[in-house]
Amino acid sequence: MKRIGLLTSGGDCQALNAAMRGVVKGLYENIEDLEVYGFLNGYKGLIYCDYRRLDSRDFSGILTKGGTILGSSRVPFKTIHVPDEKGLDKVAAMKQTYNRLTLDCLVILGGNGTQKTANLLREEGLNILHLPKTIDNDIYGTDITFGFQSAINIATDAIDCIHTTAASHNRVFIVEVMGHKVGWLTLYAGIAGGADIILLPEIPYDTDKVIDAINKRSQAGKGFTILAVAEGAISKEDAALSKKEYKKRVANRMFPSVSYEIADQIMKASGQEVRVTVPGHTQRGGSPCPADRVLCTRLGSAAAKAIIDEDYGYMIGMVNGNTKRVPLKDVAGKLKVVEPDCQMIKEAKRTGISFGI
């Protein structure tokens, strides 16, 4: 008898169901006696013993279904040791639920914060496997996270759609792409969508250089300019501030986001009309793209093999095109960022894309 638990934590994405399906199908095809428990709404389900027993039928027909059949929530790692409003010790409660169900393994699907809690539970003696989920692609130790490629498709489609209206009206358009700390999604979607300027959190921009790039296009007879701007893009001036000073600056910002601030600066400096488009949470919605379906099936199957082998304490990642068991202790808490001098940035610059520097 094998008893496994599943939970999805943090922000949702398109391929969570596909990944869970990969795990469970990989187990049902190779283990005769299996019990699967799904914890509802992320770590909250594990903390408050809120779960339901699942069987193979629950995982039928969900390969193409977005969101998560288990629901999700955010239980920040920084508050995991803080008792709840009734004084409940969250870590002790999670361990109690795990032991009460006599689980052999808990498979946790989520991003960076989720991973840190997964590693904490590993340190507490639980058998843990983590599957790397985030549209930001910022989890260290894996070449790619599931959800990323689906989000690229949506963000790119938004930029594609902007092209026609931007060209028709000779305007500057800013498309704000998700990504507070890292710019992988903005970088890929910006290049794929033919953006002229790409602004990332890792490369503080010079407003004057952004405006120069727009004017250069205008002088060359190109009537429109498209900017792909990460929601966490930051100017050189703001990057020079302390963390406390920057938080205060953002709190007092008179614009909804950095994109609107940049738009105002461009209009004042160049006199050109500027419009801002924010695809927002559409980037996390809809069905997973074919590439994510394949990725999740592979990651799920690899997780199932680790369970069959009784080999725990790993993130199941993709490294050089192959699934790999990456020790959680080596990657938890680390962020995979876009390096300003990486090959992809250099290649994008060579084609004329400006990064505002």
Residue type, 106: L
Phi, psi of 121 (to 5 degrees): -65, -35
Collapse the DSSP code of 290 into the 3-class scheme (helix H, G, I; strand E, B; otherwise coil) and give the result. Answer: helix
DSSP assigned state of 58: G
β-pair partners for 110: 132
CB-based burial label for 341 (10 Å; 0-12, 13-18, 19+): exposed
Phi, psi of 180 (to 5 degrees): -80, -45
Instruction: Verify whether residue 160 is a known catalytic residue.
Output: no
Q: Give me the catalytic one of 58, 136, 138, 196.
A: 136
Phi-psi region of 327 (alpha: psi -120 to 50; beta: other; left: phi over 0): beta
Question: Can you tell me the distance from the alpha carbon of 351 to that of 209, in angstroms, rounded to the nearest whole number?
Answer: 17
Retrieve residue 201's tokens: 């959190």
Question: Can you tell me the distance from the alpha carbon of 200 to that of 219, in angstroms, rounded to the nearest whole number?
Answer: 25
Question: Can you tell me the distance from the alpha carbon of 308 to that of 27, in angstroms, rounded to the nearest whole number?
Answer: 8
What ranges make up the beta strands (E) of 14-96?
34-39, 51-54
Question: Can you tell me the distance from the alpha carbon of 277 to that of 260, in angstroms, rounded to the nearest whole number?
Answer: 10
Residue type, 252: N
Confirm if 91 and 81 have CB atoms less than 8 A apart: yes
Which residues are catalytically annotated? 136
